[in-house]
């Protein structure tokens, strides 16, 4: 078992997508799908690793089936300009092709993976405030934005965090629907390299490995702890190659933090030195009522990967995950300065399938 430290954004993405990077090899065209997998009884123990070659691109077909159930109350302007519905139940279904382009990383044995794609053809169905959904009125939190991200991985599929990415990068200006997308599993969570972290030892059917990832949260709060457990559950023949079937369960501890403490720092910084006792008392009363609490329940993601040890890549990965989060906000309105309260309860359930469809030169 290993313990690593990543940024909060990395782990929130990990718990929603249940894969922390990966790799692939060669420039010859590779296809997945078609023939049904054939079970192979046994296989020799091998050291699994991602064989990445700079200058190579891989195309993955990505299929998404996502359900968002949300209730909200209070003044939704606390979360931005867009008014959120009081009740939303929406199904989002679609498919796309994501292109993964491999480049050399900053250190030997590391690789940059540039991932681009979009879900411009997704379909929406469901209800909003009791009425059938109108696609022209779908809230931003349910929109599927284009993917254009770069991740850094090593040969075992471990994501290497960006030192510039952290709490500030995640929360930006303290709220808005972008933050809900990051925490709740919007399109940004789909832009990940395909495959789980791999064992550093040779493995065969029945072998297991695990790692614990600890992420510093806000000051004076407990770290976010993610347990990643993997097992080779079988070997199959897929498109003429033997692939290891790896089941990975990612369990992330409950998360709760109050961003009000950061807001307090900004607000008190603007109190003039010559402020009267009355003005200071008003500020103290305001600070006492501030809330910006975000809670995410323990989250479990189940990932099944069909990994080709000869090619050093994941031919297919199937993810199932559910995330439940609650927000309780009481912050000043940007225009009037009056406190506005907002509460939200949201559950996102998603099934995502990644299938390798081809590779070639960049």
Cα–Cα separations (whole angstroms), residue 133 to 22, 137, 140: 37, 8, 14
Helix, strand, or coil (residue 84): coil
The larger pLDDT score, comparing residue 233 to residue 239, is at 233
Between CA 105 and CA 110, with CA 108 as vertex, the angle to 5 degrees is: 40
Q: Which DSSP letter does residue 174 get?
A: T
Q: For residues 227 and 252, what is the distance between their CA atoms, to the nearest angstrom?
A: 6
Place of tokens 């990644």: 354
pLDDT at position 269: 65
Q: Per-residue b/e over 163-184, b at no fewer than 16 CB within 10 Å? A: eeebbeebbeeebbbbbbbbbb
Structure confidence at residue 78 as a pLDDT band (50, 70, 90): low
**Is the CA virtual torsion 71, 77, 82, 83 positive or negative?**
positive
pLDDT at position 243: 95
**Contact partners, residue 173, CB within 8 Å, separation at least 6:** none
Which tens digits make up the pLDDT trace of 9-32?
333 444 343 333 333 333 232 233
Which tens digits make up the pLDDT trace of 20-69?
333 333 323 223 333 445 455 557 899 999 998 899 999 999 999 999 99
pLDDT at position 258: 80
Return the closest-CA partner of residue 311 out of 48, 3, 42, 107.
48
Return the closest-CA partner of residue 45 out of 283, 206, 193, 184.
206
Element holding 169 (H helix, E strand): helix 167-171
Please answer whether residues 117 and 96 qualify as being in contact, where contact means their C-beta atoms are separated by less than 8 angstroms: yes
- Residue 8 scores a pLDDT above 90: no
- Work out the average pLDDT over 301-326: 94
Please answer whether residues 11 and 228 qualify as being in contact, where contact means their C-beta atoms are separated by less than 8 angstroms: no
Going by their DSSP bridges, the two strands 313-332 and 291-296 should be labelled as: antiparallel
pLDDT at position 167: 37
Structure tokens at 247: 């089941």
Q: Which DSSP letter does residue 36 get?
A: P
CA atoms within a 13 Å half-sphere pointing along the CA-CB vector of 199: 24
Return the closest-CA partner of residue 58 out of 112, 100, 102.
100
- Work out the average pLDDT over 213-224: 73
Of the spans 147-156, 174-183, 199-208, which averages the highest pLDDT? Answer: 199-208
Structure tokens at 34: 């078609």
Helix, strand, or coil (residue 261): helix
Q: What is the DSSP string of 185-203?
A: T-GGGG---SSPPPPSS-B
């Amino acid at each position: 078992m290993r313990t690593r430290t990543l940024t909060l954004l990395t782990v929130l993405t990990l718990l929603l997508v249940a894969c922390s990077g990966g790799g692939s090899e060669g420039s010859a065209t590779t296809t997945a799908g078609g023939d049904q997998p054939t079970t192979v009884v046994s296989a020799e123990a091998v050291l699994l690793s991602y064989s990445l070659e700079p200058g190579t691109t891989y195309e993955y077909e990505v299929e998404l089936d996502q359900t968002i159930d949300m209730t909200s109350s209070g003044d939704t302007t606390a979360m931005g300009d867009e008014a959120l519905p009081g009740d939303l139940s929406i199904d989002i279904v679609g498919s796309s092709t994501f292109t993964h382009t491999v480049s050399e990383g900053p250190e030997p044995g590391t690789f940059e993976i540039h991932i681009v794609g979009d879900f411009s053809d997704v379909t929406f169905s469901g209800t909003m405030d009791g009425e059938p959904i109108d696609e022209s009125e779908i809230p931003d939190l349910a929109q599927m934005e284009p993917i254009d991200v770069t991740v850094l991985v090593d040969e075992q599929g471990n994501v290497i965090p960006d030192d510039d990415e952290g709490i500030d990068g995640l929360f930006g200006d303290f709220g808005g629907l972008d933050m809900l997308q990051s925490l709740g599993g919007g399109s940004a969570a789909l832009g990940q390299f395909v495959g789980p972290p791999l064992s550093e030892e040779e493995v065969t059917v029945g072998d297991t490995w695990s790692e614990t990832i600890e992420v510093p949260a806000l000051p004076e709060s407990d770290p976010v702890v993610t347990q990643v457990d993997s097992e080779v559950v079988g070997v199959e023949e897929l498109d003429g190659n033997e692939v290891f079937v790896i089941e990975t369960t990612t369990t992330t501890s409950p998360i709760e933090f109050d961003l009000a403490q950061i807001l307090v720092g900004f607000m008190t910084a603007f109190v003039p030195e010559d402020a009267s006792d009355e003005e200071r008392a008003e500020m103290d009363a305001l600070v006492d009522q501030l809330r910006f609490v975000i809670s995410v329940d323990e989250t479990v993601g189940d990932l099944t990967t069909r990994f080709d040890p000869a090619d050093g890549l994941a031919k297919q990965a199937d993810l199932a995950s559910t995330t439940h989060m609650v927000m309780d906000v009481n912050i000043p309105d940007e225009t009037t300065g009056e406190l506005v309260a907002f509460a939200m309860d949201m559950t996102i359930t998603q099934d995502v399938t990644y299938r390798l469809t081809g590779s070639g030169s960049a």
